[in-house]
């Protein structure tokens, strides 16, 4: 059956056969009326769908997949949609991050084990994007990302209400006694009122921007609202394009070069992107075999300005970003720093895609010369409290707190924090440093978004809105504050964070990239001798496998045995 004039496609190892196994591979697919000529060697395109009603941000993905399919048919390909594990940030406990690597395994094995020549990755909610990128990178077929797009702007009583960011703000207002419970309930349906993912520059919008700046999507992918007809056009165009990419053998590793990651780091600074991108990009780079380190984030990104006035660093929302020109307009502003050679899925360079992009609103997308915030990239801290690093997002912090020395108020874990924080007798004032332990990859487990600890109510009533906070946790991309995150090694892995006690003095100096625990080495050694490592949170199952193999945040929190790429080799026949 295989057409000798064409190069042999991967899918032809299934469909191009005249034997017993060829019968099996084709016949069962014919049960829904696939005609025999579909198996003639045309590119077979997998549509990897993270649709789930348990992932509200991806609840429109059936329609999106249909659009991709139309595009694949139009270009002469054969689309086959398949589901993979979907991770919803808001419902899944203890944290969706516990399952990112599990979902990536599902993606990897589903692609490699099936008769696919290329894949379209449908991703939206925070963890779905890195999970699909990681899994697909470990196979390295031609792949194109299609994000679900952000929700329409939240609107509440005449004002804007941003996903996540508004929750953190309003819940503190309720705790301070300044907002009524009924108003808080009403805001729930005002914040999220259409399909799509969080419409602040949280992790989902950040990761969609990372996919676009890495070159893994068509231009415009990051910002088109989920319910805008142009999102469907993009999905359809991506379906057409993946068929061509298969013919060109434009595999992921040709796009995901070191220079592409460097460009993504620059873009993350320029958009005021989520700290979670640090972990996810390190993990994706690990899969495709690119040597990227935590320090690269600081070296490449820290001097760069934030151009985008979007929540949580600023005031606008993703809809405004799209109408102002979207990510291409930001990338155009980065003319003096961007690497112009990086390739994208459309076969052109990132720079060629963006160099003429219009900017329709300078209040949303500022120029490089007159940025929204200067030197806004992620800062990587070191010191005796975080020998392998910690991160802070200066653009979302209070400038006056970026250099601070304060007395530690320590919480052993998140339960202890919730218990203690609302206790009016807690000995704390606004100069203290809140320290949270055991929320890292092994400790929580899964490295929860617990790093932006709420403030004690008595300080909220005083009008305090920020304090220095230090933990081995992550923070929601929609959150803000002077929050030191990803302290590595984490407490549960025996990092110095485990040894901090109430009353110790902690020094933060972001300018000097320093996080220091002012306790003598002898005293720390004494405390270490008394420390015992925690038992695994579960004896069996995924959580046990994760606990035994997860790497620390500075390495991307991937499982040790998942790092790398096994390629797209064709497995043995199944009979």
Contact residues: ligand FES, CB under 6 A: 57, 89-90, 125-126, 163, 197-198, 202, 204
Q: Between 110 and 163, name the residue whose CB sits nearer to Mg ion.
A: 163
Distance between CA 232 and CA 224 in Å, rounded? 10
Binding site partner of 240, from ligand FES, Mg ion, none, Cβ cut-off 5-8 A by kind: none
Other CB atoms within 10 Å distance of the CB of residue 182: 8
Minimum CB distance to Mg ion, residue 485 (Å)? 13
Binding site partner of 90, from Mg ion, ligand FES, none, Cβ cut-off 5-8 A by kind: ligand FES
CA atoms within 13 A on the CB side of 104: 31
Does position 126 bind Mg ion by CB under 5 A?
yes
Minimum CB distance to ligand FES, residue 417 (Å)? 22
Q: Between 160 and 507, name the residue whose CB sits nearer to ligand FES.
A: 160
493, two tokens:
């892995």
Minimum CB distance to Mg ion, residue 477 (Å)? 6
Q: Between 204 and 376, name the residue whose CB sits nearer to Mg ion.
A: 204
Near Mg ion in 310-339, by CB under 5 A? none
Minimum CB distance to ligand FES, residue 455 (Å)? 23
Beta carbons of 179 and 172 less than 8 angstroms apart: no
Minimum CB distance to ligand FES, residue 197 (Å)? 4
Q: Between 125 and 428, name the residue whose CB sits nearer to ligand FES.
A: 125
Does position 476 bind Mg ion by CB under 5 A?
yes
Minimum CB distance to Mg ion, residue 309 (Å)? 21
Binding site partner of 57, from Mg ion, ligand FES, none, Cβ cut-off 5-8 A by kind: ligand FES
Instruction: Using the structure block, give the residue that is written with the tokens 């048919």.
Output: 73
Query: DSSP string of 532-554?
Result: -PPPPS-SSHHHHHHHHHBPPGG
Q: Between 89 and 507, name the residue whose CB sits nearer to Mg ion.
A: 89
Q: Between 55 and 353, name the residue whose CB sits nearer to Mg ion.
A: 55
How many residues touch Mg ion under the rule CB under 5 A: the total is: 4
Binding residue for Mg ion, selected from 81, 89, 108, 212, defined by CB under 5 A:
89
202, two tokens:
């949280």
- In the sheet where 118-123 sits, what is the strand order? 78-83, 44-49, 118-123, 143-147
170, two tokens:
């309003």
Minimum CB distance to Mg ion, residue 351 (Å)? 31
Phi, psi of 454 (to 5 degrees): -65, 155
Binding site partner of 557, from ligand FES, Mg ion, none, Cβ cut-off 5-8 A by kind: none
Backbone region of residue 149 per phi and psi (left: phi > 0; alpha: psi in -120 to 50; beta: other values): left
Question: Which H/E stretch holds residue 160?
Answer: strand 159-160
- Find how far residue 481's CA is from the centre of its chain: 19
Query: Please, what is the Cα angle at 459 between 453 and 464, to 5 degrees?
Result: 85
Q: Between 204 and 288, name the residue whose CB sits nearer to ligand FES.
A: 204
Binding residue for Mg ion, selected from 52, 59, 104, 203, defined by CB under 5 A:
203
Beta carbons of 224 and 322 less than 8 angstroms apart: yes
CA atoms within 13 A on the CB side of 512: 9
Binding site partner of 198, from Mg ion, ligand FES, none, Cβ cut-off 5-8 A by kind: ligand FES
Distance between CA 123 and CA 132 in Å, rounded? 7
**Start-to-end CA span in the chain (Å):** 20
Distance between CA 138 and CA 49 in Å, rounded? 18
Q: Between 234 and 317, name the residue whose CB sits nearer to Mg ion.
A: 317
Minimum CB distance to Mg ion, residue 203 (Å)? 5
Minimum CB distance to Mg ion, residue 161 (Å)? 17
Binding site partner of 393, from Mg ion, ligand FES, none, Cβ cut-off 5-8 A by kind: none
Question: Which H/E stretch holds residue 283?
Answer: helix 276-288
Query: Which residues sit opposite 123 in a β-bridge?
Result: 147
Binding site partner of 87, from Mg ion, ligand FES, none, Cβ cut-off 5-8 A by kind: none
Of 43-51, 184-192, 197-205, 430-438, which part binds Mg ion (CB under 5 A)? 197-205
Minimum CB distance to ligand FES, residue 387 (Å)? 32
- Ranked by CB distance to Mg ion, the top (closest) residue is 476
Burial class for 492, CB neighbours closer than 10 Å (0-12, 13-18, 19+):
buried
Angstrom CA distances, 199 to 183, 265, 292, 435, 474, stand at 21, 21, 29, 30, 20
Q: Between 88 and 215, name the residue whose CB sits nearer to ligand FES.
A: 88
Q: Between 126 and 320, name the residue whose CB sits nearer to Mg ion.
A: 126
Binding site partner of 197, from Mg ion, ligand FES, none, Cβ cut-off 5-8 A by kind: ligand FES
Minimum CB distance to Mg ion, residue 57 (Å)? 10
Angstrom CA distances, 383 to 276, 386, 392, 471, stand at 21, 5, 14, 14
Q: In the complex, which residues of this chain contact Mg ion (CB under 5 A)?
A: 89, 126, 203, 476
């Amino acid at each position: 059956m295989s057409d000798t004039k064409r190069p042999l496609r991967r899918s032809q190892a299934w469909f191009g056969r005249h034997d017993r196994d060829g019968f099996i591979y084709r016949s069962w697919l014919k049960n829904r009326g696939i005609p025999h000529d579909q198996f003639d060697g045309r590119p077979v395109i997998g549509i990897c769908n993270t649709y789930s009603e348990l992932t509200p941000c991806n609840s429109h993905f059936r329609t999106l997949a249909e659009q991709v399919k139309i595009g694949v048919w139009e270009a002469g390909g054969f689309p086959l949609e398949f589901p993979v594990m979907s991770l919803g940030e808001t419902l899944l406990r203890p944290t969706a991050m516990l399952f990112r690597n599990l979902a990536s395994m599902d993606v990897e094995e589903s692609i490699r084990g099936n008769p696919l020549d290329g894949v379209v990755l449908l991703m939206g909610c925070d963890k779905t994007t890195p999970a699909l990128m990681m899994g697909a990178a470990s196979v390295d077929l031609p792949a194109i990302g299609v994000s679900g797009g952000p929700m329409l702007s939240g609107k509440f009583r005449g004002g804007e209400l941003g996903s996540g960011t508004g929750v953190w703000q309003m819940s503190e207002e309720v705790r301070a006694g300044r907002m009524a419970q009924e108003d808080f309930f009403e805001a729930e349906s005002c914040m999220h009122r259409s399909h799509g993912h969080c419409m602040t520059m949280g992790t989902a919008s950040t990761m969609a921007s990372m996919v676009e700046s890495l070159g893994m999507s068509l231009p415009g992918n990051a910002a088109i609202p989920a319910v805008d007809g142009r999102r469907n056009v993009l999905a359809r165009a991506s379906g057409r394009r993946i068929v061509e990419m298969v013919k060109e053998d434009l595999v992921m590793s040709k796009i995901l070069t070191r220079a592409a990651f460097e460009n993504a780091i620059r873009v993350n600074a320029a958009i005021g992107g989520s700290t979670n991108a640090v972990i996810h990009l390190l993990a994706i780079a690990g899969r495709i075999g690119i040597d990227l380190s935590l320090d690269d984030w600081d070296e490449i990104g820290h001097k760069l300005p934030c151009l985008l006035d979007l929540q949580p660093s600023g005031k606008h929302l993703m809809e405004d970003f799209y109408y102002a020109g979207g990510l291409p307009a930001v990338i155009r502003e980065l003319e003096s720093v961007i690497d112009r050679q990086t390739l994208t899925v459309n076969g052109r360079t990132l720079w060629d895609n963006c160099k003429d992009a219009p900017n329709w609103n300078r209040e949303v997308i500022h120029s490089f010369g007159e940025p929204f915030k200067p030197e806004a990239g992620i800062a990587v801290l070191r010191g005796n409290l975080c020998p392998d690093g910690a991160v802070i997002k200066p653009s979302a912090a209070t400038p006056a707190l970026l250099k601070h020395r304060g007395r530690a108020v320590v919480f052993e874990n998140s339960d202890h924090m919730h218990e203690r924080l609302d206790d009016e007798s807690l000995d704390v004032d606004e100069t203290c440093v809140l320290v949270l332990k055991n929320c890292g990859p092994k400790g929580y487990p899964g490295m929860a978004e617990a790093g932006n600890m709420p403030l004690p109510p008595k300080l909220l009533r005083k009008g305090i809105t920020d304090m220095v906070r230090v933990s081995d946790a992550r923070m929601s991309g929609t959150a803000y504050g002077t929050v030191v995150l990803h302290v590595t090694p984490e407490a549960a892995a025996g990092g110095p964070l485990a040894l901090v006690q109430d009353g110790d003095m902690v020094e933060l100096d972001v300018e000097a990239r320093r996080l220091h625990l002012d306790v003598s080495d002898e005293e720390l050694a004494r405390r270490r001798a008394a420390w015992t490592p925690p038992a695994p949170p579960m004896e069996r199952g995924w959580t046990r496998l994760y606990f035994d193999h997860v790497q620390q945040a500075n390495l991307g929190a991937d499982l040790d045995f998942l790092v790398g790429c096994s390629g797209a080799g064709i497995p043995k026949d199944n009979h």
